[in-house]
A and B are shown apart, each in its own frame.
Chain A
Amino acid sequence: MASAGESPTNSPQSNPFSTRFIQPGAISYLFPANVNAAQLVERLAKNGWWGEITGPHGSGKSTLLASLVPQLILARKQPLQVTLHNGERSLAQHGETLARADARTIVIVDGYEQLWSWNRWRLRRFCRRRQAGLIVTSHASTGLPPLYACAVDRQTAAEILKRLLPAESPVGQADLDHALAANGQNLRDALFELYDLYEQRQAK
């Protein structure tokens, strides 16, 4: 079976909850009926290309970012993305990437809340001086113009599950409901829990 685009092919033996199938970019962000990526980029342009995406752990912030990037490129902007991990408090490791920032670029910082407030201020000043755009993700508002607030609802989670699962699967909606409840509505962690469940039930 041929598959269009960059998505990896899911072989019959694949666990559909493997990282390669659920990571940002592998599945596109599911917007509510009245919102789409182009509208968000329009909103971003009105805000001078600055904005923040907020939401709790595993609510799809990074997935949304990945879905916005093609639209930003269509808008003739060059995204420069930095992803912060494990409580990274400064951008020292990302100087080479940020050095390329100019008026055509949008600096994207995934995990902005991890930066010390002093380093957030320095980043904002840096972007202003370079006339670059700035999009950040954070668990709570950090004072930048709000762009979108991510949240996981049962209907969205069910649709993602439907897209991931093969026709016959040892896990289903009830397992997802249970995993979401056990993981505080963190969809990423819930899907990883289903990875283990899938392996266990396949082994039977």
Chain B
Amino acid sequence: MIAPAITLTLHESRRVYRPGEKLSGQYYIEAVEGTETVAVEISVLWHTEGKGDEDIAVHFFDRVSQDERAVLDFRQPRVFSTVLPNSPLSYEGVLIKIRWCVRLRVFLSRGKQIVEERSFQLGEVPPARAVLP
């Protein structure tokens, strides 16, 4: 199966956002013949990475799906927007890291899914460094 082309962009081309700031962007999907986009979920979320169990929390979520009343054209850009919270701030630790991202999940016909992400940084906590032996 040839995957459809997905474009996901943030409106401000910067990597660091401050708590309380607005984050916005847009996405569109150029479908390939033979594939049908059934639904799209856009979320702004944070998750942990490290040696322990993963924590994840969704700050913003929106789902758009085809229904019987109207056929949606996902080739048209769709805008999303949210005000970022005060915490948790992005963090680059050794044992744990906190990562923020915008995640676009595209549900295709026959149960296939494609995920596209744009990472960004919330706040400016200095990174930790591993202690070298």
Contact = CB atoms under 8 A, between A and B. Distances in A.
Nearest to A8: B47
Chain A interface secondary structure, helix, strand, loop or mixed?
loop
A18 B97 CA distance: 10
Q: Chain A interface residue count: which class?
A: 20 to 34
A2 B113 contact: no
Given A20-B47, A20-B49, 18 more contacts: A2-B3, A2-B115, A2-B116, A4-B3, A4-B113, A5-B115, A6-B113, A9-B115, A9-B117, A11-B117, A18-B49, A18-B51, A18-B54, A19-B51, A19-B52, A23-B54, A195-B51, A204-B132
B112 A4 contact: yes
Which 3 A-B pairs rank lowest in CB-CB distance, beginning with the nearest?
A203-B130, A18-B49, A199-B130
A18 B50 contact: yes
Contacts of B58: none
A19 B54 contact: yes
A20 B130 contact: no
A200 B114 contact: no
A63 to B, nearest CB: 16
Interface string A160-204: 000000000000000000000000000000001001100110111
A15 interface: yes
Contacts of B94: 199
Interface in B76-92: 92
A203 B53 CA distance: 23
Interface of B: 3, 6, 47, 49-54, 92, 94, 97, 99, 101, 112-117, 119, 129-130, 132-133
A13 interface: yes
Contacts of A15: 49-50, 97
Contacts of A2: 3, 6, 114-116
B51 to A, nearest CB: 6
Contacts of B52: 19
Contacts of B49: 14-15, 18-20
Interface string A1-36: 011111111010111001110010000000000000
